[in-house]
C-alpha cells in the first residue's frame, strides 16, 4: 500500500475497531487509540523526511470534472500532517484520563480517530473535491464530538457550529466548482489562477470563506465560542484550538500561495479581516467570566495574526503566519488542556469560582504560565517569534495601522491572561476548592510536552523556520518589491522589537491600572464580625469589568452579547422573517392556492405568446 | 421479450381487483397479494434494464394502435416505482395495523402503481391521460384514507387543484389533437416538426407546463403538496413524494418537452426559473415547519426543483444530474417519510416541539432518519451529495453561475432544517408522555434500514448506476425528437 494511505487508513480502521470493542474494556480502546495515533505520528515523520510522495488513482469523471483520488505529500503538507499526528497523540493520551468516567468514551475515540484520518486526508489530497470531502467529514465529526458534551448547551453549540461550518463548506464547494470553471482542472498542484476578473475574486472569496470559517476568523468565528460552551474540553483543545487552525490556515495558505496568484487588493482584504479578528476577539476575551470561553475567544483572536501574516504577501509575513499557526496550535492546545485539568479537579471553569490553585496544581500552573506568556508574545517563547515575523513584514510593507492593531491585540492578550492567571491560580482559594490535587501523569505529560515545545520553538526558532516553513514560502505577491530578504529580516534588530516592548508596557499598564488602590492588605473590619474568606476574596474577573463599563465600550459589549456582530444571529433573524412572510402567504385557503396556479398559468401563456 | 410490457400495468391492476374480491372471504388477502405483485414488478423492471422495445397492442402499428414504449427513461422510472413501492408496502404491513379497511388500502395502492406504470409506458396522449387520472384518483383516495378532518381537507384541496390541472392537460391534448389529428405522441411530434411555428402548439405547451408542473409540485403550482403529503398514511406519503410527483409530473414534462416538442432555449429557461423558484421557496418554508412530515413535504418541493433545473439545462451532465437526483430523491425522501411515519407510530405525534431525546428509545428509526437527512443535505459520500454536485457542476459548465450559487445556497438551507430536526430527534429530554415508547416493529425497521443502505450504496456505486440505468435514460432525453424514428421503427 502506498505510504500516503497509512495516515488516513490506520486511524480510520482503528476508529471502526473502537466501535466494536465492548463498552466495558475501556483500556483496550485507549491503548488502541494511542497506538493508532503514535503510528500516524511516526508515519507522518517518515513521510516528512522522505520528501515528495504521490498517489494517483482515477475515480469519478463528470465531463471534464475529474474527481481523482490523488494524494500528494510535499514539504508543507507533510509538516502539517506531522503536527496532526502529534496533536492526535497528545489529545488521545490526555483523553484517556479525562474521559475515564464518561459513558460516551466509545464514540468519543471513534470520532477522534476518524477526525485524525479526515484531517490527514485534507492535507494530503491533491484534488480539490477529495479535499472537500475530507473537509466536510471533519466538519461532521466535529459536530458529533460537540454533541458528546451531552448538555443542553452542547446541542445548541453543535447546531451553531454545524450551521456556520456547513455554510462555509457550501461556499467552499461553490468556490471549488468556480475554480474548476476558470482553471479547467481540480488538481491542486496544477491550478494557478490569476486574480483580476471579478469572477476570480468571487471564487477566491468563496474558497477563503471556507478556510477562514474552519480557522475561526471574523466574521465566521462565532461557532468557536459557542462550541466552547458545550463541547468537552479535550475536543476544544483538539479541533478549534489545533486541528481546525492547521486545516483552515493550511487551505488559506494553499489558496493564496498555489491556487491563486494574489494581488495587493485581495491581500489587503485579508489583512483587514485579520486585524479586525485580532482586536474584536481579544476585546471579547477580556470580559469573559468563563475560562473555556475566554480561551475560545483567544483562539479566534490568534487566527487574526495568521491571516494578517498571509495577507501581507511578503515571504516573511507568510512565514510568520504559518509559524504562528504551528505555535498557536501548540500553546492553545496546552491552554485548553490545562483548562481541562482545572475543570477536572475543580468541576468548574467559572473564573469567579476559581482561585489560588497555584500551590495545589503546580504543574498545571507552570504550563499555563508558559503558554500564557507564549500567546501574549513575550520573548523568548515561541509566540514572540512568529508575531515578530508578522510585525516585521508589516513594517516592511509600511502598514503602520495594521502594525498598531497587531501590537495592541498582543497587549490586550497579555492583560487578559494576567486575568486568567490571577483568577485561577493566584488570589485566595475558595473554600470549596480545598483539598484539590494535581492531575495524573496521563493528563500532565501532554501539557508539559506542549509547554516544552513552546520554549523549544522559542529558543531555537530558526530550526522550525528553516526546516518546516522556510521551504514553503518561495513566493511573493505581485508588485511587492522583494527588498526584504529573509536573513536580513530575521535577525536585524528593527523597529518591531522596540514596538514589541512598548506593547508589553501597555499590557502591564492596563494590568496595573486594574490594581491601583488595591495594594494595601488588611482584613475587612465589619464591626468585629469575622467573615470567612469566600466572602472577602476578590475574584480576578472584577478588575476587568472596568473595561466593560468604560463609556463607549459598554454599548458595544452589550450589542455583542446580543449577537449584533454575529452573522449567525443576524442571518437567523433575517431568515426567520423571510420564512414567516412565506408562511403567511400559505394561508391554507383553497381559492388563493387556485388563483396562484391560474396566475402562474397566465404568466406562462403571456410569455409563450410574446 | 416485449410481451412483458403490458404486464407492468395489467398485473397491479388485476391485483387491485382480486384483493377487493377476495377480501370478502379472506380479510387478510391484501398483504400477500400486494407484496407478491410488488416483487413481480421489481423483477420485471430489473429484467428490462438495458432494453428498448415497442409493444403494439393487438399488433396495430402506430399511429393507429395503442403503443407502449419502453426505453431507458421509462425503465429508470419503472425501476424507481417498483423498488420504492416494494419498500413502502413492506413498511405498511405493520404500519397499517391501526387503520381499518386494509384491503381497500392495498387495492388503492395497486391502482396507484398501475396508473404510474401506465403513464410511464404509454406512447399516446389518450392513454397517458387515462393512466394519469387512475393514479391521481387513487392518490386522492389514499390521502383521505385516515378519514379524519385533516385528511379530508387535504384530500379535497388536492382533488380540486389536481383536477384543475388534469382539465388543463386535457385541454392541451384536445388542442394538439385538433391541430394534428392524432393522439400518438410520436406522430404528434412528427406532425408538429413538419409544421411552421404555431401559436396553438405554444398554447398547448403552456397548458402542459401548468398541468404537469402542478402534478410535479413546482412553485407556484405547489400548495396542494404540503397539505396532501403529510395527511396521507406514511407509506403513501413516501409513494407520493418519492415517486408520484416524478412519474406523473417530472417524467411527463420531460418526455413531452424533449421528445415531443423539442427543447427550445425559451422552454429551458422557463423550466429553470420554475425549478429555481421551487428550490428556494420549498427550502425556506421547510425550515419554518414544526410538523415533521410537512417539513419533508416542503423539502420535496425544494428537491424537485433541483431535478427540474438539472434536466432543463439540456446538457448531458445536467440531464445526468437531474435523473440521478430524481432517483436519489425517491430513495431518501421515501426513507425520510417512512422514518417520520415510524416516529409517529411510536410517539403518536408529528410535532417536532413535542419530541425530544428520541434517539435513545428509537435508535434504528432515528439513525435511518439521520442518514436520510444527511443524504438530502448533500453530505459526502451519500447519494444526495453526488447528484447535487453534478447539477451544480453542470450549471457552472453551462455558465449559469447565479443559479449554481442558488443551488448551493439551498443545499445550505437543507442543512438548516436538518439542524432543526436533529435537535428534537437526538437532543433534549424525552417528554414524560413518551417515556414508554418502544422501537417500531421489525418489518418497519427492515424497510428503513434497507433504504438507508441504499442511500449509501447509491452514492458509492455511482459508476455502476450510471452505466446500467442512468446513461440509457440520459440518451433518450438527449436524442430529442429523434424519438419519433424509434417509435415508428425507421
Three-state SS across A14-48?
A: HHHHHHHCCCCCHHHHHHHHHHHHHHHHHHHHHHH
Mean pLDDT, all residues of chain B = 88
Q: Which of residues 249-268 of B touch A (CB under 8 A)?
A: 266
In this prediction the ipTM stands at: 0.88
Q: Find chain B residues with C-beta within 8 A of A163's C-beta.
A: 415-416, 419
Cβ atoms of residues A367 and A448 within 8 Å: yes
Q: What is the pLDDT of residues B254-294, one digit of tens each?
A: 999 998 888 888 889 899 999 999 999 998 888 888 888 89
**A20-51 core/surface letters (b: 16 or more CB in 10 A; e: else):** ebeeeebeebbebbbebbebbbebbeebbeee
Q: Which cell is A443 given?
A: 493528563
Q: What percent of chain B has pLDDT over 90?
A: 37
Inter-chain touch A199–B389, beta carbons under 8 Å: no
* Nearest residue, CB atoms, A159 vs list B316, B379, B419: B419
Inter-chain touch A597–B205, beta carbons under 8 Å: no
Q: Report pLDDT for A489.
A: 46
**Pick from A317, A323, A425: nearest CA to A377:** A323
The domain containing residue B236 runs over which residues? 2-488
Distance from CA of B428 to the nearest CA of A (A): 7
Q: Is the pLDDT of residue B406 over 60?
A: yes
Q: What is the pLDDT of residues A547-583, one digit of tens each?
A: 677 666 777 777 777 766 777 777 778 888 888 888 8
Inter-chain touch B320–A62, beta carbons under 8 Å: yes
Q: How far apart are CA A292 and CA A602, in angstroms?
A: 60
Low-confidence ranges of chain A (pLDDT < 70): 1, 473-500, 515-526, 528-547, 550-552, 563-564
In angstroms, the Cα distances linking B354 to A172, A603, B357, B425 are 36, 42, 10, 10
Cβ atoms of residues B293 and B226 within 8 Å: no
Q: How far apart are CA A400 and CA A499, in angstroms?
A: 11
Alpha carbon B238 to chain centroid, angstroms = 9
Question: What does the CA dihedral A38, A41, A43, A47 come to, rounded to 10 degrees?
Answer: -170
- Helix, strand, or coil here: A221? coil
Q: Is the pLDDT of residue B325 over 90?
A: yes
* Nearest residue, CB atoms, B380 vs list A136, A147, A599: A136
In angstroms, the Cα distances linking B198 to B180, B261, B267, B477 are 12, 12, 15, 23
Q: Find chain B residues with C-beta within 8 A of A12's C-beta.
A: none
Q: Find chain B residues with C-beta within 8 A of A170's C-beta.
A: 408-409, 411-412, 415
Phi, psi (deg, nearest 5) at residue A52? -90, 140
B292 has a chain A CB within 8 A of its CB: no
Distance from CA of B257 to the nearest CA of A (A): 14
Inter-chain touch A60–B221, beta carbons under 8 Å: no
B316 has a chain A CB within 8 A of its CB: yes
* Nearest residue, CB atoms, B405 vs list A174, A181, A575: A174
Q: Find chain A residues with C-beta within 8 A of B463's C-beta.
A: 60
Q: Find chain B residues with C-beta within 8 A of A118's C-beta.
A: none
The top-scoring range by mean pLDDT among A366-380, B315-329, B410-424 is B315-329
Strand A193-194 relative to strand A260-261, pairing: parallel
Inter-chain touch A159–B423, beta carbons under 8 Å: yes
Q: Which of B408, B422, B474 to mutate to test the interface with A (most CBs of A within 10 A)?
A: B408
Q: How many interface pairs between A and B have CB atoms less than 8 angstroms apart?
A: 137
B163 has a chain A CB within 8 A of its CB: no
DSSP A258: I
Inter-chain touch B203–A609, beta carbons under 8 Å: yes
Q: Find chain A residues with C-beta within 8 A of B426's C-beta.
A: 147, 155
Count of structural domains, chain B: 1
In angstroms, the Cα distances linking A261 to A185, A204, A265, A445 are 16, 10, 12, 43
Q: How far apart are CA A375 and CA A382, in angstroms?
A: 8
Annotated domain spans of chain A: 262-564, 567-609
Inter-chain touch A62–B205, beta carbons under 8 Å: no
Q: Find chain A residues with C-beta within 8 A of B226's C-beta.
A: 586
Triad A112, A117, A122: Cα angle to 5°: 120
* Nearest residue, CB atoms, A173 vs list B209, B226, B408: B408
Q: Which of B158, B380, B467 to mutate to test the interface with A (most CBs of A within 10 A)?
A: B380
Grade residue B381 by pLDDT with cuts at 50, 70 and 90: confident
Q: Report pLDDT for A33.
A: 83
E strands, A104-244, where?
193-194
Q: Report pLDDT for A539.
A: 62
In angstroms, the Cα distances linking A349 to A96, A124, A341, B185 are 20, 37, 10, 73
State the average pLDDT over residues B30-43.
90
DSSP B291: B
Inter-chain touch B288–A181, beta carbons under 8 Å: no
Q: Is the pLDDT of residue B32 over 50?
A: yes
Cβ atoms of residues A367 and A451 within 8 Å: yes
Strand A71-73 relative to strand A53-55, pairing: antiparallel
Residue A112's contacts (CB-CB under 8 Å, 6 or more residues apart) are A15, A33, A88, A91, A92, A95, A145, A238
Q: How far apart are CA B385 and CA B378, in angstroms?
A: 4
Specify the pTM: 0.88
Q: Which cell is B216 given?
A: 410535479
Q: Is the pLDDT of residue B359 over 70?
A: yes
Nearest residue on chain B to A610, alpha-carbon basis: B199
**Pick from B248, B357, B229, B235: nearest CA to B301:** B229
B1 has a chain A CB within 8 A of its CB: no
Inter-chain touch B404–A62, beta carbons under 8 Å: no
Q: How far apart are CA B339 and CA B324, in angstroms?
A: 22
Grade residue B490 by pLDDT with cuts at 50, 70 and 90: low
Q: Find chain B residues with C-beta within 8 A of A171's C-beta.
A: 408
Q: Which of B278, B282, B393 to mutate to test the interface with A (most CBs of A within 10 A)?
A: B393
* Nearest residue, CB atoms, A155 vs list B281, B380, B428: B428
Q: Is the pLDDT of residue B85 over 80?
A: yes
Amino acid at each position: 500500500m502506498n505510504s500516503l494511505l497509512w495516515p488516513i487508513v490506520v486511524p480510520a480502521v482503528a476508529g471502526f475497531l473502537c466501535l466494536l470493542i465492548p463498552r466495558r474494556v475501556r483500556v483496550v480502546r485507549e491503548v488502541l487509540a494511542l497506538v493508532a495515533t503514535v503510528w500516524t505520528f511516526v508515519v507522518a515523520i517518515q513521510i516528512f523526511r522522505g520528501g515528495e510522495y504521490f498517489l494517483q488513482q482515477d475515480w469519478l469523471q463528470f465531463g471534464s470534472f475529474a474527481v481523482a483520488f490523488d494524494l500528494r505529500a510535499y514539504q508543507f503538507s507533510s509538516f502539517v500532517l506531522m503536527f496532526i499526528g502529534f496533536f492526535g497523540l497528545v489529545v488521545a493520551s490526555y483523553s484517556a484520563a479525562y474521559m475515564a468516567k464518561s459513558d460516551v468514551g466509545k464514540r468519543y475515540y471513534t470520532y477522534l480517530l476518524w477526525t485524525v484520518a479526515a484531517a490527514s486526508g485534507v492535507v494530503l489530497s491533491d484534488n480539490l473535491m477529495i479535499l472537500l470531502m475530507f473537509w466536510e467529514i471533519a466538519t461532521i465529526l466535529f459536530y458529533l464530538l460537540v454533541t458528546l458534551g451531552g448538555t443542553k448547551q452542547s446541542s445548541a453549540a453543535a447546531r451553531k457550529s454545524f450551521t456556520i461550518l456547513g455554510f462555509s463548506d457550501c461556499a467552499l464547494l461553490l468556490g471549488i466548482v468556480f475554480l474548476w470553471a476558470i482553471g479547467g482542472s481540480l488538481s491542486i498542484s496544477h491550478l494557478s489562477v490569476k486574480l483580476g476578473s471579478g469572477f476570480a475574486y468571487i471564487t477566491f472569496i468563496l474558497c477563503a470563506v471556507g478556510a477562514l470559517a474552519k480557522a475561526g476568523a471574523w466574521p465566521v468565528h462565532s461557532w468557536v465560542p459557542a462550541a466552547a460552551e458545550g463541547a468537552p474540553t479535550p475536543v476544544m483543545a483538539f479541533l478549534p484550538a489545533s486541528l481546525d487552525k492547521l486545516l483552515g490556515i493550511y487551505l488559506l495558505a494553499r489558496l493564496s500561495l498555489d491556487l491563486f496568484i494574489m494581488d495587493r487588493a485581495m491581500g489587503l482584504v485579508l489583512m483587514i479581516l485579520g486585524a479586525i479578528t485580532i482586536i474584536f476577539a481579544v476585546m471579547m476575551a477580556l470580559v469573559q467570566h468563563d475560562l473555556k470561553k475566554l480561551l475560545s475567544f483567544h483562539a479566534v483572536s490568534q487566527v487574526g495574526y495568521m491571516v494578517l501574516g498571509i495577507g501581507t504577501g511578503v515571504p516573511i509575513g507568510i512565514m510568520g503566519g504559518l509559524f504562528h499557526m504551528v505555535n498557536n496550535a501548540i500553546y492553545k492546545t496546552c491552554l485548553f488542556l490545562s483548562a481541562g485539568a482545572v475543570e477536572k479537579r475543580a468541576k468548574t471553569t467559572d473564573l469567579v469560582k476559581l482561585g489560588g490553585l497555584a500551590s495545589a496544581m503546580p504543574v498545571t500552573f507552570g504550563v499555563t504560565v508558559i503558554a500564557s506568556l507564549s500567546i501574549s508574545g513575550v520573548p523568548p517563547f515561541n509566540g514572540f517569534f512568529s508575531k515578530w515575523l508578522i510585525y516585521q513584514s508589516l513594517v516592511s510593507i509600511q502598514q503602520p495601522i495594521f502594525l498598531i492593531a497587531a501590537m495592541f491585540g498582543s497587549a490586550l492578550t497579555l492583560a487578559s491572561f494576567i486575568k486568567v492567571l490571577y483568577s485561577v491560580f493566584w488570589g485566595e482559594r475558595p473554600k470549596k476548592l480545598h483539598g484539590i490535587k494535581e492531575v495524573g501523569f496521563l493528563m500532565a505529560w501532554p501539557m508539559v510536552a506542549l509547554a516544552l515545545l513552546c520554549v523549544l520553538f522559542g529558543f531555537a526558532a530558526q530550526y522550525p523556520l528553516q526546516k518546516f516553513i522556510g521551504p514553503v514560502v518561495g513566493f511573493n505577491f505581485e508588485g511587492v518589491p522583494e527588498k526584504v530578504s529573509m536573513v536580513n529580516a530575521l535577525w536585524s534588530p528593527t523597529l518591531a522589537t522596540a514596538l514589541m516592548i512598548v506593547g508589553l508596557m501597555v499590557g502591564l499598564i492596563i494590568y496595573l491600572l486594574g490594581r491601583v488602590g488595591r495594594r494595601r492588605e488588611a482584613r475587612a473590619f465589619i464591626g468585629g464580625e469575622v467573615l470567612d474568606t469566600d466572602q472577602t476574596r476578590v475574584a480576578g474577573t472584577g478588575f476587568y469589568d472596568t473595561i466593560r463599563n468604560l463609556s463607549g465600550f459598554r454599548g458595544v459589549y452589550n450589542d455583542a452579547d446580543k449577537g449584533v456582530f454575529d452573522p449567525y444571529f443576524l442571518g437567523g433573524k433575517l431568515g426567520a422573517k423571510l420564512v414567516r412572510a412565506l408562511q403567511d402567504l400559505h394561508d391554507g385557503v383553497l381559492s388563493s392556492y387556485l388563483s396562484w396556479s391560474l396566475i402562474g398559468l397566465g404568466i406562462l401563456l403571456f410569455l409563450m405568446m410574446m | 421479450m416485449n410481451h412483458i410490457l403490458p404486464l407492468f400495468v395489467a398485473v397491479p391492476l388485476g391485483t387491485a381487483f382480486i384483493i377487493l374480491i377476495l377480501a370478502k372471504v379472506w380479510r387478510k388477502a391484501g398483504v400477500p397479494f400486494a407484496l407478491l405483485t410488488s416483487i413481480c414488478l421489481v423483477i420485471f423492471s430489473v429484467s428490462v434494464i438495458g432494453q428498448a422495445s415497442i409493444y403494439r397492442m393487438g399488433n396495430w402499428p402506430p399511429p393507429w394502435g395503442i403503443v407502449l414504449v419502453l426505453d431507458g427513461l421509462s425503465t429508470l422510472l419503472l425501476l424507481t416505482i417498483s423498488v420504492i413501492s416494494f419498500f413502502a408496502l413492506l413498511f405498511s404491513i405493520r404500519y397499517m395495523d391501526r387503520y381499518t379497511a386494509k384491503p381497500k388500502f392495498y387495492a388503492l395502492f395497486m391502482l396507484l402503481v398501475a396508473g404510474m406504470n401506465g403513464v410511464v409506458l404509454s406512447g399516446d396522449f389518450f392513454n397517458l391521460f387515462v393512466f394519469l387520472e387512475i393514479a391521481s384518483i387513487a392518490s386522492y383516495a389514499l390521502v383521505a384514507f385516515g378519514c379524519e378532518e385533516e385528511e379530508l381537507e387535504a384530500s379535497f384541496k388536492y382533488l380540486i387543484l389536481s383536477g384543475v390541472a388534469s382539465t388543463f392537460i386535457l385541454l392541451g391534448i384536445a388542442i394538439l389533437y385538433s391541430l394534428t389529428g392524432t393522439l400518438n405522441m410520436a406522430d404528434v411530434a412528427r406532425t408538429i416538426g413538419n409544421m411552421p411555428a404555431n401559436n396553438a402548439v405554444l398554447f398547448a405547451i403552456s397548458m402542459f407546463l401548468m398541468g404537469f408542473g402542478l402534478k410535479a409540485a413546482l412553485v407556484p403550482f405547489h400548495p396542494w403538496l404540503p397539505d396532501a403529503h403529510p395527511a396521507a398514511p406514511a407509506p403513501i406519503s413516501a409513494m407520493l413524494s418519492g415517486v408520484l410527483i416524478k412519474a406523473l409530473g417530472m417524467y411527463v414534462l420531460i418526455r413531452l418537452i424533449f421528445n415531443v416538442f423539442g427543447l427550445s432555449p425559451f422552454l429551458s429557461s422557463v423550466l429553470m426559473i420554475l425549478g429555481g423558484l421551487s428550490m428556494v421557496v420549498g427550502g425556506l418554508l421547510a425550515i419554518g415547519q414544526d410538523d415533521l412530515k410537512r417539513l419533508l413535504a416542503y423539502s420535496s418541493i425544494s428537491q424537485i426543483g433541483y431535478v427540474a433545473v438539472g434536466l432543463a439545462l439540456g446538457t448531458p451532465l445536467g440531464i445526468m444530474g437531474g435523473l440521478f437526483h430524481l432517483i436519489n430523491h425517491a430513495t431518501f425522501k421515501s426513507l425520510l417519510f417512512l422514518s417520520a411515519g415510524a416516529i409517529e407510530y411510536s410517539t403518536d405525534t408529528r410535532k417536532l416541539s413535542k419530541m425530544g431525546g428520541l434517539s435513545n428509545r428509537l435508535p434504528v428509526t432515528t439513525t435511518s432518519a439521520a442518514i436520510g437527512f444527511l443524504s438530502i443535505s448533500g453530505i459526502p459520500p451519500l447519494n444526495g451529495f453526488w447528484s447535487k454536485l453534478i447539477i451544480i457542476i453542470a450549471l457552472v459548465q453551462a455558465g449559469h453561475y447565479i443559479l449554481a450559487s442558488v443551488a448551493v445556497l439551498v443545499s445550505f438551507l437543507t442543512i438548516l432544517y436538518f439542524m432543526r430536526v436533529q435537535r428534537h430527534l437526538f437532543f433534549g429530554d424525552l417528554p414524560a408522555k413518551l417515556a414508554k415508547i418502544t422501537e417500531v416493529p421489525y418489518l418497519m425497521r427492515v424497510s428503513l434500514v434497507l433504504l438507508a443502505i441504499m442511500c449509501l450504496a447509491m452514492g458509492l456505486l455511482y459508476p455502476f448506476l450510471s452505466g446500467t440505468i442512468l446513461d440509457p435514460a440520459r440518451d433518450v432525453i438527449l436524442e430529442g425528437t429523434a424519438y419519433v424514428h424509434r417509435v415508428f421503427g425507421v
